[in-house]
Structure 1
């Protein structure tokens, strides 16, 4: 694992950088997750093995630093990732992003349009979070209440029904989860959906088969966005069908 100094206070983002001669793929994880946990098996699949694969843990998640005084908004994550890809000298790269990580990815893509070869999103946040989503639930609590009790309750409640997510969520900063969730509820201007539609690079959106039907499938196809479906998987497709997800990512890369 490698580390990248994010700011003047020496906060560090940690990441895996797996070698490959083909266009680099930057993997951005979702809420309460970590690239180091979610994507090694996906990245190891035959379809992606020739690509350079960069698996990050966003600040506040996984093995990265978790400063309490950080803003943790969607835009702030995109800002340091922009510096990161510039420092890595990624002249052309692919972004794969999941769930709320998709909002971060779209803000990043908007900042480096000339470097984007492809953006591939799996069940990503395109609009501000609404009722029924975890980010809406977390983001509508007072931060103090969430940090000082509700966060632990959420981890405990999910330890039996969704143990994989509970395990990654448990090592996240509760402050970071609260703040990025509030950012998701607030949304952005332009919206993440508007950014996606305006990008000139190749674009793919991935659904898990178990998440369908979804009205957005028709809407995205209407905007000429390639749609792929991962069989035998729902929202947590990286864990449920890593081979199928890798195949869908590869189809997005090859989509003409």
Structure 2
């Protein structure tokens, strides 16, 4: 376990690090998740093993600190992640990022281009969404006011989340979880999709084949983003089909 202070108040991001060769690979989890739980199996898969690998927990999540004074915008998450990577002496990393982590990774690459040499986005959020009471995921969490969520709304989210997601969501700070969801749903200006289209690094977008054609895939391909369906999985591709995920990721990073 490694850590670095990433705010002026000294709040620390923590990560599990696997030794290996450069370029380093940085794995970033989604909302309410934690990278060691979601990525360890595939980070050590024979197709992906051998690189220095940092399984990073974003601020407010997993093993990292949970400051209540932090805004948890996508830009804030990206800047905090950048501070951790600089402290770890990482440059030109191959970033593999899931869901909200993919949104953060796009912002990271746009704001701190020297830190990212390749992007593999795993069913990442690219567009703003509309909060919806009772919905699963960020839209449902963002439908609460912060005080309402912290005071007890989180219990309703827990009951909808299911055992797998709650096993890591329960580690997240409640303010962190709510603010991260609100800002993920709100998105960025320009949008994450627009930023992605204009990045200069090699980019791959993995999505579940069962979702059907990915919206906007044609424009993404035209901009140089490889859009790759992965069979036999849902949103958590690396957990549902570790072999298919490792194969697609290794091909993206070849």
TM-score between both structures, scaled by the size of structure 2: 0.93
Secondary structure of the 2:83 match is helix
Which sections of structure 2, spanning at least 5 residues, go unmatched? none
Partner of 2:26: 26
Deviation (angstroms), 1:248: 1.1
Taking the aligned partners of 1:64 and 1:208, their CA distance within structure 2 comes to 29
Secondary structure of the 1:215 match is coil
Taking the aligned partners of 1:214 and 1:92, their CA distance within structure 2 comes to 28
Taking the aligned partners of 1:143 and 1:198, their CA distance within structure 2 comes to 34
Secondary structure of the 2:224 match is coil
Deviation (angstroms), 1:236: 1.0
Deviates more, 1:225-234 or 1:198-207: 225-234
Partner of 2:150: 147
Corresponding position: 1:204 with 2:207: no
Contact kept in structure 1, 2:82 and 2:115, CA below 8 Å: no
Taking the aligned partners of 1:154 and 1:183, their CA distance within structure 2 comes to 17
Report 1:176-195 matches (<5 A). 176-195=176-195
Report 1:152-163 matches (<5 A). 152-159=155-162, 163=163
Deviation (angstroms), 1:133: 6.0
Taking the aligned partners of 1:136 and 1:34, their CA distance within structure 2 comes to 20
Contact kept in structure 2, 1:82 and 1:111, CA below 8 Å: no
Partner of 2:165: 165
Taking the aligned partners of 1:58 and 1:37, their CA distance within structure 2 comes to 13
Partner of 1:137: 140
Q: Deviations over 1:177-207 (max 9, x none)?
A: 1101111222211211111111111010001
Contact kept in structure 1, 2:66 and 2:176, CA below 8 Å: yes
TM-score between both structures, scaled by the size of structure 1: 0.92
Q: Deviations over 1:59-100 (max 9, x none)?
A: 111111112222111111111111222222223211111111
Taking the aligned partners of 1:192 and 1:57, their CA distance within structure 2 comes to 21
Taking the aligned partners of 1:32 and 1:12, their CA distance within structure 2 comes to 17
Report 1:2-151 matches (<5 A). 2-130=2-130, 134-151=137-154
Contact kept in structure 1, 2:13 and 2:84, CA below 8 Å: no
Superposition misfits of 4+ residues, deviation over 4 angstroms = none
RMSD: 1.6
Deviation (angstroms), 1:49: 0.5
Taking the aligned partners of 1:112 and 1:23, their CA distance within structure 2 comes to 16
Secondary structure of the 2:216 match is helix
Secondary structure of the 1:60 match is coil
